[in-house]
Structure 1
Amino acid sequence: MENSNNDKIVLVTGGSGFIASYCMIDLLNKGFKVRASLRSLNKIDHVKKMLGRGGVQSFESLSFIQADLDNEASWEKAVEGCTYVIHTASPTPNTDAKTDDDFIIPAKNGVLFVMKAATKAGVKRFVLTSAFGAVGMGTNKKTPYTEEDWTIINDTVAPYQKSKTISEQAAWEFIESRTTSMELSVVNPTGVYGPVLDADTSHSVQPVIQMLNGVMKACPKLTFGYVDVRDVADLHIKAMLSPEAKGERFIAVSGASLSFLDIAEILRKNLGDKAAKVPTKEIPDWIIRLTGLFSKKFDMIIPLLGNVKSASNEKAKNLLGWKPRPMEEAILATAKSVIDLGLIK
């Protein structure tokens, strides 16, 4: 397989990100040439260090290019000669973004800038990293969400989730409204856990860090689906290569949803003294709602209190043969990695 891939270049945007790093590790292991886009080339050594921690031993097939979601012209050179694009770059809740537009405009424009350049360059398939935030927000379902569902944008939907919804919709509209041979596949991850490669962690693993450090004294009543980052990367590669993935979106979720308290119990059951500060109780919803009157940091979770957000992985499993690992394994891998990185005090 390696010999058939080593003449193909894959552009991975947002190359310093959690999901992007594991996509690059997977691609390099499969023999592809990888070109990673970064907003600043000062991050090259940082990215190589992460990839090395993830098992990459040679960087011969890896190159870097500077490109920015705000700069349309920067993407033409980035996609030059590429067979595939995996577009993970997008503003995250960790950014300095404050308003809806701070999230939505760069996310939507970034998708369209890269897609236009990729179409012009003759890219075969474009894989977009969207999110469950584009699938299951603004609504409440008793049954698991599927790829047929879309977030209904209303006042309960956070800016980050709005940006994911609007940018994914823009991607599908781009494909449908233009005469182009480029194909589109979309991956919609739920909460992403798994081995952390750097102290500058993804926002998705923060709850585990907060539990282990004793910052989270009690668990909010939040229940979501989760998935291991290694399986998210695997699904991206399957979406990139499988003929069946053309024109499809895929929810990346390990299995049944877990509450924060479920996660806490997994940590306490398996980590012994290292989980001494992990919470054992849930915090009543009314306390969070009351606190939310005086602090905006709860704005994103208050609409979700008491809701169970479950999702189906049947499409990815049946159509692409995707086999995600158990969620307990992903949670413990997260915990071990943040402990090893010295992030737990």
Structure 2
Amino acid sequence: MHDHDPTPGSGPVLVTGGSGYLGSHVVDALLRAGHRVRTTVRSLDRADGVRATAARAGAGPGERLDVVQADLASDEGWAEAVKGSKYVLHVASPFPARQPRTEDEVVVPARDGALRVLRAARDHGVRRVVLTSSFAAVGYSRTGGGAYDESDWTDPADDLTPYIKSKAVAERAAWDFMAAEGGELELAVINPPGIFGPVLDRHLSASVLLVKAMLEGALPVVPPLYFDVADVRDVAGAQLRAMTEPGAAGERFLIGSGTATSLHGMARVLSEGLGERAAKVPARELTPEEVREGARTDPALREAASQLGRVPVLRTDKARAVLGWEPRPVRTTVLETAESLFRLGLVEA
């Protein structure tokens, strides 16, 4: 059994994908906790941006932040990236900017990237990898509403969008690898739903783009969709806890507020909290009939139609009990997402 000493200073913690929305928060949280951090980017063109974001976030990285090049699609650079690290936080994941032509464009890099990171970690004596999976790997196969916990799995054989399928396939592959050839390596997995919360730079996630679209009036009406919300800072915090908590090894953790929010509910929170600045947020929710009618011609509504009537509830008791983790209120997360967009001048008038 390993001794789990969380003390900073024992080699850098490797974060994959440190230039992304979640990755930048993970880097910030580690620096604030006193760790040395090494992070991978696909291209070193992004290195200065990563350092600038860390400095602006207030952690004062100084010499404690190292940026290296490694791409999930290639073996190159991973041995150097993990060298000397006791912990690896695998955050990077391909998220398509457009619907891919084939699902393999997303599924294959997600799966192979996770396996590359695990293999390099095992071969170079890393103690534990924390993989960021998603609620997409947990709760997309049972029809109807319902409560979900860590024993639930999305079946990749179901009719799913490529992104959702990629999360289920990649996480399954990670656990299968550990069972067959993980050796001394430990794995913990966290499964957040839609991630919202303040942005640290111009890298916006699909969830944050939704808030931006609401504030700009690009969504005059919204479908009646329900989902859980995770605060990006809470997801980063859960990763740090899962990294060093002895009881987290070999476990997956649902990370979310534990209550379902709707797009319309989110719009109301923005209206009530921001007053005039939220003048353009959608005031009307489509009826289920309108969604079904629109789905005949609009691909975006087709996905909404398939989720009608689903009100997913995430059971987060395990993360609370094992990791000592607590989520922020959804209202705080939504309003602070908006405030950060205004502060960085990212909302078009």
| TM-score range for the pair, normalised by the shorter chain length | over 0.9
Task: Give the aligned residue type for 1:269.
Answer: E
Amino acid at match of 2:309: G
- Code of the residue aligned with 1:20 in structure 2: it is G
Contact 2:296 2:302 in 1 (8 A): no
1:221 aligns with 2:219: no
Q: Kindly indicate whether residue 126 of structure 2 is the aligned counterpart of residue 137 of structure 1.
A: no
Shift in alpha-carbon separation, 1:302–1:155, aligned structure 2, 3 A: farther
In the alignment, which residue of structure 2 is the partner of 1:97? Answer: 100
Any gaps of 5 or more consecutive residues in structure 2?
A: none
Letter in 2 for 1:330: T
1:167 corresponds to 2:167: no
1:3 Cα deviation (Å)? Answer: 9.9
Q: Answer whether contact 2:145 2:310 (CA < 8 A) is retained.
A: no
Q: Which residue of 2 aligns with 1:176?
A: 179
Instruction: Check the 8 A contact 2:135/2:191 in 1, yes or no.
Output: yes
Q: 1:302 to 1:50 in 2, by over 3 A?
A: farther
Match of residue 57 from structure 1:
60
Instruction: Tell me the TM-score normalized by structure 2.
Output: 0.94
- For 2:334, the equivalent position in structure 1 comes to 331
Alignment of 1:1-345 (within 5 A): 4-94=7-97, 97-140=100-143, 142-178=145-181, 180-344=183-347, 345=349
When residues 249 and 255 of structure 1 are mapped into structure 2, their CA distance, relative to the original with a 3 A threshold, is same
Q: Give the number of aligned pairs.
A: 344
Q: Check the 8 A contact 1:191/1:204 in 2, yes or no.
A: yes
Distance 2:91 2:133 in 1: 8
Q: Please, which moves more after superposition, 124-133 or 66-75?
A: 66-75
Aligned mates of 1:291, 1:102 — CA distance in 2: 28
Mapped partners of 1:96, 1:280: distance in 2: 28
- CA distance in structure 1 between the aligned counterparts of 2:304 and 2:12, rounded to whole angstroms: 40
Is the 2:6–2:244 contact (alpha carbons within 8 Å) kept by the matching residues of 1?
Answer: no
Closer, same or farther: CA 324–268 of 1 in aligned 2, 3 Å: same
Measured in 2, the distance between the counterparts of 1:284 and 1:99 equals 32
Deviation, 1:299, is 4.8
Runs of 4+ in 1 over 4 A off after TM superposition: none
**CA distance 1:330–1:274, shift in 2 (3 Å):** same
CA offset digits 1:115-164 (Å, max 9, x no partner): 11110000000000000000001223543210110012355421101000
The whole-number CA distance in structure 2 between the counterparts of 1:72 and 1:156 is 31
Q: Distance in 1 between matches of 2:116 and 2:48?
A: 27
SS of equivalent to 2:146: coil
Displacement of 1:255: 2.6
Q: Which amino acid aligns with 1:278?
A: V
Q: 1:115 is aligned with what amino acid?
A: L
Query: Aligned AA for 2:216?
Result: N
Mark the CA change 1:267 to 1:224 in structure 2 (over 3 Å): closer, same or farther: same
Q: What percentage of aligned pairs have identical amino acids?
A: 41
- State how far apart, in whole Å, the 2-side matches of 1:239 and 1:187 are: 8
> Aligned pair in 2 of structure 1 residues 213, 95: CA closer, same or farther (>3 Å)?
same
- Flag structure 1 segments of 5+ consecutive residues without an equivalent: none
Q: Is the 8 A contact 1:93 1:203 kept in 2?
A: no
Q: Secondary structure at the match of 2:237?
A: helix
Amino acid in structure 1 at the alignment position of 2:233: R
SS for the counterpart of 1:53 is helix
- Whether the aligned pair in 2 keeps the contact of 1:188 and 1:252 (CA below 8 Å) is yes
Q: Measured at CA, do residues 123 and 162 of structure 1 come closer, stay the same or move farther in structure 2, by a change above 3 Å?
A: same
For residues 197-244 of structure 1, give each alpha carbon's deviation from its aligned partner in whole angstroms, at most 9, with x where no partner exists.
122311121221111111111121110110110000000000101001
Deviation at 1:44, TM superposition (A): 1.2
Across the aligned residues of Structure 1 and Structure 2, the Cα RMSD in angstroms comes to: 1.8
